[in-house]
Structures are given as structure tokens and as C-alpha cells.
Amino acid sequence: MRKKVEYTQLIHEEKKHTKAQRMTDNFEPNIIAFLCNWCAYAGADLAGTSRIKYPPNMKSIRVMCSGRVDPAFILEALKNGADGILVAGCHPRDCHYQSGNYKAKRRILLLKKLLHQLGINPSRVRFEYISASEGQRFASAVTEFVDDLKKFGPNPLSGVA
């Protein structure tokens, strides 16, 4: 029994050391982005083809509509160590599926309340309206989000928390 307690204590201290080391190193956040096929994904594509610079910290997942993003996907990504989640969709009244972007916005607001109650900074999840012609806006949103996440530090749910 004593060895198990010592072993657990060693693991706990190693995790604290690793987290402290990760905070002092040049922390680069991992972002998962759920991008609407018709607007936000096209905006990201425009940013790329226009050679607009933005941080490479994002892994994008194309969804047909931001309204199809289930909050469970976001919680799962945070649980698996993503430092931030970006959900981007069409501007109001421009959704190709009529009201998907409104549903996504409402779900994100409710999820943020839940995250706050769980002790996770709700600002780790962001919703943006980005159209297909807004490559610069997309790059600015990603850059701003990366800067904010650097201030927050690593996700407390990641393996080193």
C-alpha cells in the first residue's frame, strides 16, 4: 500500500513539474476548428490562397453547417487536450441551412455556462461569423484566439494537468 501512495505522489509531482515546464517554454496552443463548409471553410481557403499569414496552431474540421456541431464534440476535444475550440459559421441570415448558425451560437453560449461551472475558462471556446470572402477576418480571428490562449496557458484537462 505504501509503494502505491509513493508512486502516485511521484506521478503527481512529475505532472506538476511537466505543467510548470510547459508554461515556461514557448507554449503553442492546439486549436480544433469546426468550420462551416459554405462560409468559414471557404474563408480559411481564401486566407490560404491569398497567402495571409496566421498561426499554424489550428486543425480544421469541415462540417456542412456550424449547426451540426454537437457540444459533445467540443467537450471531447477539450477532454483530449485541445487548448481551444473555434466554431465558425455563416453570418446571420446567410446560413445555407436557414438557421443552423443561430442554433450553433445558442449551443455555444449554453456550453460556455457549463464550462464555467466545471471550472474551465469559457473563453477557450469561441464562435465566429466568417463569410467566404473574409479571408483576412479568418486570419485575424485565429491570430487573436491563439494570443488569448497563450495567456490562458495549457488546457487543464490535458494529460499534464
Higher pLDDT among residues 138 and 11, named by residue: 138
User: Does a structural domain hold residue 8?
Assistant: no
Domain with 72 in it: what CATH number? 3.40.50.960
Provide the domain limits for residue 143. 27-152
Over 70: is that where the pLDDT of 6 sits? no
User: Does a structural domain hold residue 83?
Assistant: yes
Please report the pLDDT score of residue 18 as a whole number. 46
pLDDT single digits (tens) 104-136:
999 999 999 999 999 999 999 999 999 999 999
Closest CA to 68 of 110, 111, 34, 112: 34
Query: What's the pTM value of the predicted model, to 2 decimals?
Result: 0.83
How far is residue 150's CA from residue 157's CA, in Å, rounded to a whole number?
A: 16
How far is residue 156's CA from residue 137's CA, in Å, rounded to a whole number?
A: 29
How far is residue 152's CA from residue 27's CA, in Å, rounded to a whole number?
A: 10
Q: What is the largest CA-CA distance in the chain?
A: 63
Please report the pLDDT score of residue 20 as a whole number. 54
